[in-house]
Structure 1
Amino acid sequence: MSANDHDGPDPEDRNNFEDLQRILGEMLSGAGGEGAALDPEQFAKAAGIPVDPQTLQGLFATLQGAMHNPSDEIDWSATRRTAIEVAGDGSAPADPAPALRAFPVATLWLDEVTDIGATPDAPRTLGRIEWVQQSVDTWVGLAQPVAESITGALMGALQNQMPEELSGALQGAAPMLRSVGGALFAVQLGTIIGKLSGEVVSAGDIGIPLFSGPGREGGALLPGGVAAFAEGLDQDPEAVTLYLAVRELAHARLFRHAKWLRLHLLTAITDYSRGIRIDTDRIQDLAHEIDPAQPEQIQQLITNGALIPPKTEEQEAAHARLETMLALIEGWVDVVTADAAKRIPGADAIAEMVRRRRATGGPAEHAFAALAGLELRPRRLREAAALWRLVADRSDVATRDGLWAHPDLLPTSEELDHPARLLERLGLSGATAETPEDDFDAALAQLLDGELPPHAGGEDGRGGPADDGAADDAGSPDRDPEGPRSDA
């Protein structure tokens, strides 16, 4: 029970609370005086957020709320407030017109290369703050299991290290300490989300469906992020915008078509995160290495993944399955985008930069990976793209896209390693990569050019090479393309 649970605070509880407040203040500020108070500026440094008056005011309110109204639940409103504050950096919004011009063209091109139709929701452009507001709940859901593990482990470590004379104070104020620890995690997560809003170019840029709900599933571009990405390329900005629009709408189509996919993917991520167990012994060892006068060490401790122990064998297997799913999604998007964007000048160069960016990620994304112990970058993207291409070449687009009808139909990790196994499962082992349409198109071109008599345009003439006469002469070894036909 905390001190503020009484109508009239018990003197002993009040003294315990003040003792713990003093201890926290000394830890974070390095001050050793009796009256040391919890310094929000030091906490801001520990959280890695900007030390400015507005941010400090919000942080101070968050910490006061955590200390005076303790709860076992983390107050994720601190994440939302901090993320919006970081995203609202005062920069001028980018022009949305190029993206709005690109969406209709991207829709038409995608209609030509995939059987998965357009989404009912119209694509949109978003600013940084809008992206934060519409995606923060998904980020919180991904990080919450880890946050609960970390705060629980920190409490366990504190209980083991607290001197006996303060054990009573700890018992009375444990909810307050847990709330403060959760508040620090929530603020750190909000900082990462706010910084991510300046790195992403689209709603599907991270590889997972961040948005859900009516009107939000049609895809979205962030003009500011698109402009920043185009600056690093020696390509026409309009072409870059159009390519990214094609890619984003392909991503949106896939998740809208495979209605099971979003829940399947987010459930897999959540299950993996819940399997993370914080190493209390490791926390105790690290606590001895922290200099209270340098609160940035706490921030580094949280964001460099030091609190996350090595993966167990079960987690390694779960992460491998998750990576396979992410690779299949991104590989399919890559293939469909390449087919749809082939008219864009420099499309191959843009695609390569997108792949590199997907493979490496940005600073804020790396911070989230360390904070939540979860890497969202698929390592097998190229293999997955090659597999989707192979299926379409050996069969057709309908067969390729039809594999998204159910999770049991998707290629497995073993089939990603050995594509022949997938072809065998699909009954495509004996199929060739060449399609009869190519020969038909050649024969049709001959007919239109007047090179092939109409009576020879049947099945016999369909598969032969171009010539200047009847189909029965197509295979004659004595035929001279430049001279009269041989009678042989």
Structure 2
Amino acid sequence: MTSDRPVPDPDQPPWEQMLRALLGDQADEAIAEMRARGIDPSALDPAGTLPSDPAAMQQVLAQVQQLFAGGDDQPVNWRMAHDLARQQAAQGGDPSLTPTQTRQVLDALSVAELWLDAATELPPSAAPARAWSRAEWVEATLPTWRTLTEPVASSLSTALVDALGPQLGGLSGDPLSGDPLSGDPLSDDPLSGAAPGVALPGLPGGLEPGQLLRRLGSAVFGLQVGQAAGTLARDVFGTTDIGLPLLDVPAPALVAANVDAFAEGLDAPTDEVRLFLALREAAATRLFTHVPWLRAHLLATVDAYARGIAIDVEQLEEAVGSIDPTDAAELQRALSGGVFAPHTTPEQQAALGRLETALALVEGWVDEVSAAAALPHLPHSVALREMIRRRRAAGGPAEQTFANLVGLELRPRRLRDAAALWAQIARDGGQAARDAVWDHPDLMPTAEDLDDPSGYASRRAQAAGDSADLDRALAEILGEEPPAQD
């Protein structure tokens, strides 16, 4: 990259600043040509999560230029994501915790564990409790963000090359040989529109179009992940706020500054609010520690959804094919109809349904157990429980940020139904029976159970009877002794 590229104008939208930093004097021509071909350049930032802060944008643009000067084609630029996440987390200040803050958090988590012993059969996590600054939360959780976002980034990178590769090849001023979508075996990148190893004139660093788009996608997604993680760091209380465990090894932790900020606007004393949030964090940590299949199940369901993401190119072509490409207003109206939105397949819908049910069950169990533990000790526990329920149901900055990034809304839409179900199971069989449901994935309640909590026991008894009948039939076929009856 050359150093004489124009300095981006902070009044320009972030996506335009990025293009101008990358393409220099050719940016105007590139943007005009993309629009003329029916491609909205703002689609490079469909979620609007690129940083708007001028200082942060200048820093990340310098990193983008370094990316195109050299680097690989990984789906997400993780160095960029890390640096921006730290910058975003530090907005408004993020000093190291004082000894008093650390002691308050650790004491709250210790007391929470004692209270939870009376409310659940699941024992505490063996991992030590932690009190974190926002920056420490970023450092601890970023590896899981990698697991969550790379499948999405890979899918969108492929879609970006698929949709924009031919157009970018045309911008180079070098005529493309053959149909760029034909998969011509003469090209090592059928979407690049160029022969193997040919760097088209006018592209930054002499990159091929497909490679340029992949690196651009890597940079854009790196910025989005960094923005998302940094935004969450200023909002979350611990490691389980979005319903997914963000640590490889579960451990109870609270972000002291966020807990204190949340308590400032409430009538309840700060110590009581801290204890209530500590109960929720410790309860969720117990669940993810002692139900070893649960974390993998949730992350695999997110992965199954994310790997199916693709931009509907036919819908895009249909939206812009019948309009005057020189009419900017008409073009904008056509592109605002969701043509860049991910195309949801039946498989994705099924994965989404499984994820929503699983998240509701996790949140409902945490809600029920932490409330039971808090009720004898915290005068404001009922009000705090309702406040957290509404916060999760409404979807705060944490949920919205993740929805923009991955395309999934992680709100437990049926939290109240799930909490009612866990309470019903405990009434029928005690808290040991309630917690034993987590022993195996096959025992997990279904959406039907959320619809009718009171019928859960009879449905499970019927299922057990059907299974016993099947075992007896198999034994007869195999000439074996039928299983003993309970």
- TM-score bracket, normalised by the shorter chain, equals 0.7 to 0.9
Which of the residues 138, 141, 147 maps onto 1:135?
141
Hey, what's the Cα distance between the residues in 1 that align with 2:289 and 2:283?
Answer: 10
Q: Which one of the candidate residues 364, 372, 377 is aligned to 1:339?
A: 372
1:260 aligns with 293
C-alpha deviation, 1:117, in angstroms: 0.6
Q: So what's the TM-score if we normalise by structure 2?
A: 0.72
Equivalent residue, structure 1, for 2:163: 157
Counterpart code for 1:80: H
- Check if 1:417 corresponds to 2:423: no
The separation in 2 between residues aligned to 1:114 and 1:286, in whole angstroms, is 58
Q: Which amino acid letter does the alignment assign opposite residue 318 of structure 1?
A: A
Aligned partner letter, 1:346: H
Q: From the superposition, tell whether residues 408 and 276 of structure 1 become closer, same or farther in structure 2 (CA, over 3 Å).
A: same
2:217 to 171, 175, 181: 181
Q: How does 1:90-101 map to 2 (within 5 A)?
A: 91-93=93-95, 95-101=101-107
The answer to whether the Cα contact below 8 Å between 2:420 and 2:453 also exists between their aligned partners in 1 is: no
- Which one is further off, 385-394 or 356-365? 356-365
1:456-475 residue CA offsets vs partner (Å, 9 max, x unmatched): xxxxxxxxxxxxxxxxxxxx
Whether 1:403 and 2:423 are equivalent positions in the alignment is no
What is the Cα deviation at residue 274 of structure 1?
0.8
- Of 201, 208, 211 in structure 1, the residue corresponding to residue 237 of structure 2 is 201
- After superposition, the C-alpha distances for 1:241-291 in whole angstroms (9 at most, x for unaligned) are 000001110000001010111111111111111122222245565899999
1:114-150 superposed Cα distances (whole Å, 9 cap, x missing partner): 1101111121111111111111121122121222222
User: What letter matches 1:175 in structure 2?
Assistant: Q
Q: Is the 8 A contact 1:305 1:373 kept in 2?
A: no
Q: Which residue of 2 aligns with 1:89?
A: 91
| Contact kept in structure 2, 1:230 and 1:240, CA below 8 Å | yes
The 5 Å alignment of 1:25-424 reads 25-26=27-28, 48-53=50-55, 55-69=57-71, 71=73, 73-89=75-91, 91-93=93-95, 95-161=101-167, 162-163=169-170, 165-168=173-176, 171=194, 172=199, 173=208, 174-213=210-249, 217-282=250-315, 285=319, 307-342=340-375, 343-424=377-458
Moved more, 169-178 or 386-395: 169-178
Contact 2:160–2:213 (CA under 8 A) maintained in structure 1: no
Task: Indicate how the Cα distance of structure 1 residues 54 and 355 shifts in structure 2: closer, same or farther if over 3 A, else same.
Answer: closer
Aligned residue type for 2:86:
I
- Contact persistence 1:78–1:190 (CA under 8 A): yes
* Aligned residues: CA RMSD: 3.5
Quote the Cα distance in structure 2 between the aligned partners of 1:47 and 1:139.
Answer: 16
1 CA distance for matches of 2:358 and 2:288? Answer: 13
| Larger CA deviation: 390-399 vs 144-153 | 144-153
Distance in 1, matches of 2:394 and 2:245, equals: 19
Aligned to 1:11: none
Q: Distance in 2 between matches of 1:374 and 1:263?
A: 17
Aligned-pair distance for 1:27? 6.5
Give the deviation of 1:70 after TM superposition.
Answer: 5.1
1 CA distance for matches of 2:159 and 2:378? Answer: 53
When residues 170 and 427 of structure 1 are mapped into structure 2, their CA distance, relative to the original with a 3 A threshold, is: closer
- Once the two structures are overlaid, the 10-residue window that deviates more, 202-211 or 360-369, is 360-369
Shift, 1:76, TM fit: 2.2
- Cα deviations by residue, 1:63-92 (Å, 9 ceiling, x for unpaired): 332354452644322111111121122515
Q: Relative to 1, partners in 2 of residues 1:244 and 1:418: Cα closer, same or farther, differing over 3 Å?
A: same
The worse-fitting range, judged by mean Cα deviation, of 75-84 and 257-266 is 75-84
The answer as to whether partners of 2:252 and 2:285 remain within 8 angstroms in 1 is yes
User: CA 1:99–1:74 in 2, change beyond 3 Å: closer, same or farther?
Assistant: closer
Rounded Cα–Cα distance in structure 2 between residues aligned with 1:346 and 1:428: 41
In structure 2, the residue corresponding to 1:96 is in which secondary structure?
helix
1:391-432, CA deviations, whole angstroms, 9 ceiling, x for partnerless residues? 100111111101111111111122222334421144499xxx
Pair 1:286–1:395, CA change in 2 (3 A): farther
Mapped to 2, the partners of 1:223 and 1:27 lie a distance apart of: 49
Q: Which residue matches 1:459? A: none
Q: TM-score, normalization: structure 1?
A: 0.72
Give the corresponding residue for 1:37: none
Q: Which runs of 5+ in 2 are unaligned?
A: 1-19, 34-43, 177-191, 200-207, 464-486
Three-state SS of the structure 1 residue aligned to 2:118 is: helix
Deviation (angstroms), 1:211: 0.6
Q: Which moved more, 1:413-422 or 1:69-78?
A: 69-78
Moved more, 84-93 or 221-230: 84-93
Larger CA deviation: 198-207 vs 410-419: 410-419
Contact map agreement 1:70 1:176 (CA 8 A) in 2: no
CA distance in 2 between counterparts of 1:73 and 1:90 reads: 31
- Distance in 2, matches of 1:289 and 1:394, equals 66
Structure 2 Cα separation of the partners of residues 127 and 27 of structure 1: 45
Report if the CA contact (8 A) 2:73-2:215 is conserved. yes
**Equivalent-residue separation in structure 1 for 2:26 and 2:49 (angstroms):** 15
Question: Aligned pair in 2 of structure 1 residues 154, 320: CA closer, same or farther (>3 Å)?
Answer: same
Gap runs ≥5 in structure 1: 1-17, 32-41, 430-488
Equivalent position SS for 1:221? strand
Q: 2:81 & 2:217 partners in 1: Cα distance?
A: 13
Aligned residue for 1:396, secondary structure, equals: helix
Deviation, structure 1 residue 26: 2.4
1:16-49 per-residue CA deviation (whole Å, 9 max, x = no partner) reads: xx9x935862278889xxxxxxxxxx99x97631
Aligned-partner residue type, residue 159 of structure 1: G
Following superposition, the deviation at residue 55 of structure 1 comes to: 4.8
Letter in 2 for 1:329: V
